Amino acid sequence: MNILAIDTAANLCAACVYDRAAGEVKSRVVLDIGKGHAEHVMDVVERALNESGLTYRQIKAVAVNSGPGSFTGVRVGISAARGIGLAHNRQTCGVNALDALAFEALEKYPGRSVLVATGNRDESLACLGVDGTSEFPFVNYELLSADEAREKLGRDTILVGDGGCRIARALGRDCDFDSATADITSFARLAAKAQGTIPAVPLYLREPDAKPQSDFALAIKGI
């Protein structure tokens, strides 16, 4: 079973093709672009398919990074995944960035507790805490302040993510796993574990930056 994975939720615009039966990554294309994901995502997908030697017909499922991340970026990736799934009658599966980062950290540090924290713009961090015996899918997602996140740290807890590195600096220690997002292949591998059971819907843990205007609103006059 070949899985196409897409990630546009952060700075990267990435896609890969993963063969679940063989446990093999057939292609991986990653652009570090920051912005402009909508203009690049389908080209990146096409490049991943070309490198794998496969066509859309040979893809059996589409996985996507469902956030948290840029509101626009998350929507771009999910729209692309759903569009491909709809056009080719394929399953779509959402894998969130916190799960993917925790999965990578548990592989690198087996048996250790992990705290994933992402977000560097304000005081709130999107967090996921898992112990060394946890298995995907994880569920303990929280929006915490840096102080609240620090209270959850055990002596041997692995700190992961850009928010985790912020916490580590405040504690005068090194960040164990410095990454704002997981590798695109991790999203594909987790989608393979989920076997299409997780819908491709956004994971939003904070309010959007855009707010409705109130000071300049005009009253609606009757006809």
- Closest by Cα among 63, 48, 65 to 10: 65
Q: Rounded CA gap, 155 and 167, in Å? A: 14
Domains of the chain listed by start with CATH number: 2-96+182-194 (3.30.420.40), 98-171 (3.30.420)
The dihedral sign for the CA sequence 52, 55, 57, 59: positive
Can you give the pLDDT at residue 154? Answer: 85
- Closest by Cα among 110, 148, 115 to 130: 115
Angle of helix 184-194 versus helix 97-108 axis, rounded to 10: 100
Can you give the pLDDT at residue 13? Answer: 97
Q: 154 CB contacts (<8 Å, ≥6 apart)? A: 113
* Statement: the pTM of the whole predicted model exceeds 0.85: yes
- Reported as a single tens digit per residue, the pLDDT across 114-154 is 999 998 666 689 999 999 888 888 888 999 988 899 888 88
pLDDT confidence tier of residue 166, bands split at 50, 70 and 90: confident
